[in-house]
Chain A
């Protein structure tokens, strides 16, 4: 047995032992409770003067009067279950949810499996990686189908089907939308032609369309909201006049403001000089470009500092999941006490 495998086994055994100890002490750990809600709807058909019927639904309390019924479960805090059990040990209003409890443990397993990559590539990480690839690829395809194809493409081209099975409140689309969806269907079909044994080249046509339109759209948006807007923002007076008390000018603040404005203008110009391609960075241009690089480096340093904050918050959120939701070690939101 090599050393690495031994390390893994020891870590695993110690961890499992700690889990067992945690499970035996206090309130235990890692359970999810749910509250059941019965939903019943009755069908109401109303006939107007012309004899046309409209269908509406009313939420009803008694299951007998309902045409459609189902159950919904929502998560209940463990303290609600503790309280309910203390009052009546036979209650069924709040119950342990096996699917969600298993899910919670699975989520904890996946969290640890991904963290294990920090140590080294290993079988747990590979398993987590395979799962996330399979699940997420399918997830986005399902979302693409139900949230894009159905409400956009099918709603435009086969509205009756969508109305009957998915969204009775669907409104008819205008001509422009119909044509853009018909175009999308044709181009999408050409893309799929790649799967055919011959004539796969036709897939290059929709790609060319997408690239062309993207180029046309982006040139407008970038020149307008970036180039012109940022240029405009720099075309302000460098001299700042800051009003002080009693109508006089606050000299100190004005000098500082002027200096700041001057530094901004110098910075923009010198950093832009750095981006010049057709001039060698020598002499005056080289010197200016160097100042530009200093500005860029300060900008990057600032971005780094701010980004780090968010990253630590994300890690903290994962640890909170492990300590709070799974291990029940801490209870910052008072869900159990």
Chain B
């Protein structure tokens, strides 16, 4: 009870308050910056746990001969090959700056097995996944952008103005407007929308989020939120 609930709560409170106070004390101002490194190192060490979870899940699938266990085998194979090749810096030539260091070389170029895997497997796979978005945007535009009410109409009307104003189509459609009405040309209209409505909306969202973050942080630092991952009452 004490070990699993009370101490974590106190660790969170003490460390959080200390870092909060350090922001105002000159000799301690760098604490926050140092935390980034500390956190990254903890996260890198903890990746052992992630690897364990990944291996366990896929080994279980293979040993139970679950549906699609062959794909679990592919996960395991590609994971282990990439890990061994990358950690061992296999096939990496020495660094130009200090050729004597046996692990000094970089493995970015497609010369090296790790670089090859990155360039010919990871990049095409992840960037194509990213590119799928263009298709989903299209299907969302057709299905979800309906003028059901005033609010939805405003959203889609603005999207319309921006989409048209950002291609040559906008110039064709409204370029004929005379100089005195040039403010109504789509490309200018999109600038006004951005400068006035978008500025106001974004500002309110940002202020709201700042307050939300402050309240969430305070709930942790004051020990009010007992369900947050920092322990506390259960």
How far apart sit A222 and B109, CA to CA, in the bound complex (Å)? Answer: 39
Interface residue stretch chosen among A6-14, A83-91, A113-121, A327-335: A113-121
- The minimal Cβ–Cβ distance linking B112 to chain A, given in whole angstroms, is 10
Q: Is the interface of A mostly helix, strand, loop or mixed?
A: helix
Known: A118-B132, A130-B71, A144-B43. A294 touches B214 (CB 8 A): no
Among the listed A59, A153, A234, A301, which residue makes an inter-chain contact with B155, where contact means beta carbons less than 8 Å apart?
A301
Q: How many CB-defined contacts (below 8 Å) exist between A and B?
A: 434
Task: Give chain A interface residues in 297-337, CB to chain B under 8 Å.
Answer: 297-306, 308-309, 311-312, 314-315, 317-318, 321
Known: A134-B74, A139-B122, A218-B213. A152 touches B40 (CB 8 A): yes
How far apart sit A275 and B208, CA to CA, in the bound complex (Å)? Answer: 7
- The minimal Cβ–Cβ distance linking A27 to chain B, given in whole angstroms, is 22
Say whether B200 contacts A166, CB under 8 Å.
no
How far apart sit A149 and B48, CA to CA, in the bound complex (Å)? Answer: 13
- The minimal Cβ–Cβ distance linking A223 to chain B, given in whole angstroms, is 6
- Give the number of residues in A that approach B within 8 Å (Cβ atoms): 134
- The minimal Cβ–Cβ distance linking A107 to chain B, given in whole angstroms, is 4
Say whether B38 contacts A184, CB under 8 Å.
yes
Among the listed A144, A227, A306, which residue makes an inter-chain contact with B214, where contact means beta carbons less than 8 Å apart?
A227
Among the listed B50, B162, B200, which residue makes an inter-chain contact with A137, where contact means beta carbons less than 8 Å apart?
B50
Among the listed A114, A212, A226, which residue makes an inter-chain contact with B206, where contact means beta carbons less than 8 Å apart?
A226
Chain A residues whose CB sits within 8 angstroms of the CB of B96 once the complex forms: 39, 41, 59
Task: Give chain B interface residues in 168-209, CB to chain A under 8 Å.
Answer: 190, 192-209
**A231 contacts the other chain (CB 8 A):** yes
Among the listed B32, B152, B197, B214, which residue makes an inter-chain contact with A263, where contact means beta carbons less than 8 Å apart?
B197
Say whether B34 contacts A180, CB under 8 Å.
yes
Chain A residues whose CB sits within 8 angstroms of the CB of B122 once the complex forms: 132, 135-136, 139
Residues of A within 8 A of B (CB): 39, 41, 43, 55, 57, 59, 67-68, 70-75, 99-100, 103-104, 106-108, 110-111, 114-115, 117-118, 126-142, 144-146, 148-149, 152-153, 164-169, 176-177, 180-181, 183-185, 187-189, 191-192, 194-195, 201-202, 204-220, 222-223, 226-227, 230-231, 233-234, 260, 263-268, 270-272, 274-275, 292-306, 308-309, 311-312, 314-315, 317-318, 321
29 contacts between A and B (CB under 8 A): A99-B116, A107-B123, A111-B124, A114-B128, A114-B132, A115-B132, A127-B74, A134-B76, A135-B122, A135-B125, A136-B125, A149-B45, A152-B41, A165-B103, A180-B34, A184-B45, A192-B48, A192-B49, A202-B3, A208-B229, A211-B220, A212-B19, A212-B230, A213-B15, A223-B214, A226-B209, A272-B208, A301-B162, A305-B158
With A169-B98, A300-B155, A305-B162 given, name 20 new contacts (CB 8 A).
Answer: A68-B94, A72-B109, A106-B121, A111-B128, A130-B75, A131-B125, A137-B50, A148-B40, A166-B104, A169-B97, A177-B37, A209-B11, A212-B221, A220-B32, A226-B210, A230-B207, A271-B200, A275-B208, A314-B127, A315-B134
